[in-house]
Amino acid sequence: MAESTKAEKLELINKRIRAFPDFPVKGILFRDICPILKDPKALTAVIDLFEEHVRQTCPQIELIVGLDARGFLFGPLLAQRLGIGFVLVRKKGKLPGPTVSVSYALEYGKAEAEIQEDAVSPGQKVLIVDDLLATGGTLGAACDLMKKQQAEVVGCLVVIEMTELKGVERLKPYPVFSLVHF
């Protein structure tokens, strides 16, 4: 069987994303990636496209940082393909041992994120992975955590980018790679 093209992979991914209006609050159109996870071909397509991008644009990457909770779904698979480690950025109070944390605003509230103090080494080149970029609050917080840890953020990867919310602007100067745009 012939390998799928980039366009075919993107079409498959796009078909597996569902929209739920007014979730988690009225006025938010939630983009659900659960059908991607249910379909092994769609999940493989996401990881294939992420891997291709990383190998072409930042082969010097040393560590994948995944955001709570959906970055945990894509990040370890990508890290395994690249032969590098994976670390977690979690919601406040979920990690054992000494942690470093930051507060940030979401499009519909506030939150705190943290990482274990020894998860990232100073100067380490990291790539941050999540499922969705909206206003950039969560990814921005992860970038701030990496800065506190003196790591070098090489870029951010997301499956979905909500372009009208301009989260990319908030993340400058860090490059963002998105598979699907709404």
* pLDDT band at 161; cut points 50, 70, 90: very high
Calculate the CA dihedral of residues 83, 171, 167, 134 and round it to 10 degrees. 40
Residue partners of 44: CB distance under 8 A and separation at least 6: none
Across the range 30-55, mean pLDDT stands at 98
Distance CA 114, CA 138 (A): 11
Helix (H, G, I), strand (E, B) or coil at 156: strand
Distance CA 88, CA 76 (A): 10
| Residue 72 contacts residue 147 (beta carbons within 8 Å) | no
Query: Is the pLDDT at 29 greater than 70, yes or no?
Result: yes
- Among the listed residues 11, 51, 62, 107, the single catalytic one is 107
> For 72-101, what is each residue's pLDDT tens digit?
999 999 999 999 999 999 999 999 999 999
Reply yes or no on whether 70 is catalytic: yes
- pTM beyond 0.85: the answer is yes
Reply yes or no on whether 18 is catalytic: no
Residue 118, amino acid: D
| Residue 113 contacts residue 92 (beta carbons within 8 Å) | yes
Q: Which residue has the tokens 């499922």?
A: 131
Calculate the CA dihedral of residues 32, 37, 42, 45 and round it to 10 degrees. 100
- Among the listed residues 16, 31, 70, 90, the single catalytic one is 70
Residues in the chain, how many? 182
Q: Is the dihedral of CA 15, 175, 101, 87 positive or negative?
A: positive
H or E element that contains 24: none
Residue 45's Cβ-side half-sphere holds a number of Cα atoms within 13 Å equal to: 25
**Summary mean pLDDT of the chain:** 95
Assigned CATH topology for domain 6-181:
Rossmann fold (3.40.50)
